[in-house]
């Protein structure tokens, strides 16, 4: 319990979840932000495509073309920066296309490579090998 301005504050214990990234408020908020970002990116690319098919009024058409080229350049830079993380994904070509379309919003939604490594148990082969410096006589005990 804490005391603030002479008043005793009581904060009940929060129930902990076994899977915090799915059921926690932060995980849900991040998922919502990611989905909203992907939706806005899709709308942006639709407007840029509509501008290429039927150009808008002159200053806006040129600005949209420049914004589309800048966004494409930014997403190409993200492809180069996150090459290692994308390399761990099973469908590399599809993941790269999604990064070109959605950028960092898709990279945020990728499963972490660190989580995948921790999920796989490490099994060390058990061998009865002796050190290289040990001779055959030291490795095999004498019967005498």
Q: Indicate the pairing of strand 7-9 with strand 2-4.
A: antiparallel
Domain ranges of the chain: 25-112
Q: Note the pLDDT tens digit of each residue in 115-127.
A: 444 555 555 555 5
**Can you give the pTM of this predicted structure?**
0.59
Give the Å distances, CA to CA, from 24 to 20, 67, 113, 116: 5, 36, 21, 20
Give the integer Cα–Cα distance in Å for 86 and 73.
18
Tell me how far apart the alpha carbons of residues 102 and 96 are, in angstroms, rounded to a whole number.
10
pLDDT tens string, the chain, 144 residues long: the values are 556 566 665 555 555 544 444 555 667 888 899 999 999 999 999 999 999 999 888 889 999 999 999 999 999 999 999 988 888 888 989 999 999 999 999 988 887 654 444 555 555 555 555 555 555 555 556 565
- Retrieve residue 16's tokens: 């902990």
């Amino acid at each position: 319990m804490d005391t603030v301005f002479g008043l005793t504050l009581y904060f009940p214990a929060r129930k902990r979840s076994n899977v915090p990234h799915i059921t926690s408020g932060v995980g849900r908020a991040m998922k919502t932000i990611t989905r909203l970002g992907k939706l806005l990116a899709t709308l942006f690319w639709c407007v840029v495509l509509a501008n290429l098919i039927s150009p808008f009024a002159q200053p806006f058409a040129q600005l949209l073309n420049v914004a589309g080229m800048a966004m494409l350049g930014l997403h190409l830079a993200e492809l180069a920066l996150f090459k290692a993380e994308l390399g761990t994904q099973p469908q590399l070509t599809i993941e790269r296309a999604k990064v070109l379309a959605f950028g960092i919003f898709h990279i945020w939604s990728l499963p972490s490579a660190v989580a995948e490594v921790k999920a796989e148990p490490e099994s060390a082969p058990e061998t009865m090998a002796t050190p290289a410096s040990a001779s055959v006589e030291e490795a095999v005990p004498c019967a005498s």
